[in-house]
Structure 1
Amino acid sequence: MSEQTARVKGPASYFPSIEKTYGHPIAHWQGLIRSSSLTRHSELVAWLKAAHGLGHGHANALVAHTRAEDAARG
């Protein structure tokens, strides 16, 4: 496998930085997102930023990845 195909792409590429910066595993953030009463992407991003201090890129990546996972599960 080449280095390029082994490299994580998309929202998940932010995950190591998110875990290091905020001290919680990705599952923690996904649990918060899934348990929130908010449903719109932009609302969830704004909430993660305001209530939990995440940067925009990190919040956006978490919401995008979590929603894509949930959509794939049906």
Structure 2
Amino acid sequence: MDEQHKAKGPASYFPAIEQRYGQPVSHWLALLAGRDEKQHMALVAWLKTEHDLGHGHANALVAHYLAQG
């Protein structure tokens, strides 16, 4: 990916997330969509506790998910 098309913000973490955890980002977004909780840090804590994601990866997924509305 060249500089002009390089992902920015939370999406910049997506390739590393997919590589490290072996699931596509769509998997994580679907899990988040299934949660009644919509508070950012509560969702981050849930991903860290229940799915063993690192803080930065969980934070990026939640930020992206919540930004979608």
TM-score category of the 2 structures, normalised to the smaller one: over 0.9
Gapped regions of structure 2 (runs ≥ 5)? none
CA deviations over 1:20-74 (Å, ceiling 9, x no partner): 000100000000001112110000000000000000000000000011112xxxx
Equivalent residue for 1:24? 23
Gapped regions of structure 1 (runs ≥ 5)? none
Task: Please give the residue correspondences for 1:55-66 in structure 2 after superposition, counting only pairs within 5 Å.
Answer: 55-66=54-65
More helix by share: 1
* Counterpart Cα distance in 1 of 2:49 and 2:28: 14
- Equivalent position SS for 1:43: helix
Q: CA RMSD in A?
A: 0.8
- Equivalent position SS for 1:36: coil
* Counterpart Cα distance in 1 of 2:38 and 2:12: 24
TM-score (norm 1): 0.87
The AA in structure 2 aligned to 1:65 is H
* Counterpart Cα distance in 1 of 2:5 and 2:24: 21
Identity, % of aligned positions: 54
